[in-house]
Amino acid sequence: MLFEAVALSHRYADGCPGLDGCSLAIRRGSRNALLGANGSGKTTLLQHFNGLLQANSGSLHFAGAPLDTSRAGLAALRRRVGLVFQNPDRQLFSASVVEDVSFGPLNLGLDETTVRIRVAEALAAVGLAGHADRPVHHLSFGQKKRVCIAGVLAMQPEVLLLDEPMAGLDSAMQSELEALLASLTAQGITIVLSTHDVDFAYRWADDIHLLAAGRCLASFAAGDLPQHAEALRQAGQSVPAIVELQRILAAHGLIAALPAMPSLAALLPALTSREAI
């Protein structure tokens, strides 16, 4: 396991519980969706994974060892585990795109040529190759978000944490981001993202971790989601539209069994059958 959280609890300074006995595990190289309603603890958990927040009780292991929260330990952790904030304005602070994306690799002490190559690669990966010299404050929300991702990719992390990456993006930008995530997965990078979009979680993730009130109610392979309808309901989530459609078709005898991972293409023969539903 890459991350293993056991009974993790975090109380904010005002006494509000951010996490309340959260246990879950993240497999190396997998795509993970932390799925939950607002306030369920997704952001708090992601910030534990890169040591930005520390638990009041419980344990968190990374790569088989307890998370090292010394200054040097946290610096080493953040080289391996990159976090992209939900709000790009919290993450971007340099005047230009190239300065912002260079900041992390320069901090690693890499030489200028290596930094230049890494920055160019990271900007190309997020589709911003021609934007290096633009002032950050001239960029659109979606472009700012991509600069944030480039800044983390330039560190060449093993794990990418993304807080609500799809929020505020139009559907074309969401598709581009999904394609980028697919290429990162193909490179072996472990991805953990938060979302409240059950359809996206079902379509994209290997593992779904259902969060509610600071706890993980259930972790399951995305393909097993239909068996967790009750836990989804408890977490304030609906069943994905494609799963609901499949259930209705099955209830009317238009499909025999529930296929493992339904898609519109798989359901098409039933949808186009002449029998009335």
Ligand X SMILES: Nc1ncnc2c1ncn2[C@@H]1O[C@H](COP(=O)(O)OP(=O)(O)O)[C@@H](O)[C@H]1O
Residues in the site for Mg ion, rule: CB under 5 A?
A: 42-43
Least separation in angstroms between residue 12's CB and ligand X is 3
Contacted entry of ligand X, Mg ion, none for residue 16, CB cut-off 5 to 8 Å set by kind: ligand X
Q: Which is nearer to ligand X, 44 or 190 (CB)?
A: 44
Alpha helices, DSSP H, located in the chain: 42-49, 71-80, 88-91, 97-107, 112-125, 141-153, 171-186, 198-204, 229-234, 241-251, 264-271
Q: Count residues contacting ligand X (CB under 6 A)?
A: 12
- In sequence order, what are the residues at sequence separation of 6 or more whose Cβ sits closer than 8 angstroms to the Cβ of residue 34? 42, 45, 46, 192, 193, 194, 195, 209, 211
Q: Which is nearer to Mg ion, 29 or 168 (CB)?
A: 168
Least separation in angstroms between residue 45's CB and Mg ion is 9
Q: Which is nearer to ligand X, 38 or 70 (CB)?
A: 38
- Residues of span 33-92 touching ligand X by CB under 6 A: 36, 38-44
Looking at the DSSP bridge assignments, the partners of residue 160 are 82, 191
Which of 184, 179, 161, 158 has its CA nearest to residue 169?
179
Confirm or reject binding of residue 93 to ligand X (CB under 6 A).
no
Q: Which is nearer to ligand X, 15 or 188 (CB)?
A: 15
Q: Which is nearer to ligand X, 101 or 161 (CB)?
A: 161
What interhelical angle do 141-153 and 97-107 show, nearest 10?
A: 20
**Cα separation values, 149 from 27, 43, 127, 161, 184, Å:** 22, 17, 11, 10, 11
Contacted entry of Mg ion, ligand X, none for residue 73, CB cut-off 5 to 8 Å set by kind: none
Least separation in angstroms between residue 138's CB and ligand X is 29
Q: Edge to edge, what strands does the sheet with 81-84 contain? A: 81-84, 159-162, 190-195, 31-36, 207-212, 215-221
Question: Which residue, judged by CB position, is nearest to Mg ion in the bound state?
Answer: 43
Least separation in angstroms between residue 256's CB and ligand X is 39
Least separation in angstroms between residue 135's CB and Mg ion is 28
- Residues of span 9-38 touching ligand X by CB under 6 A: 12, 14, 16, 18, 36, 38
CA 55 from centroid of its chain's CA atoms: 20
In the complex, the residues that contact ligand X under the rule CB under 6 A are 12, 14, 16, 18, 36, 38-44
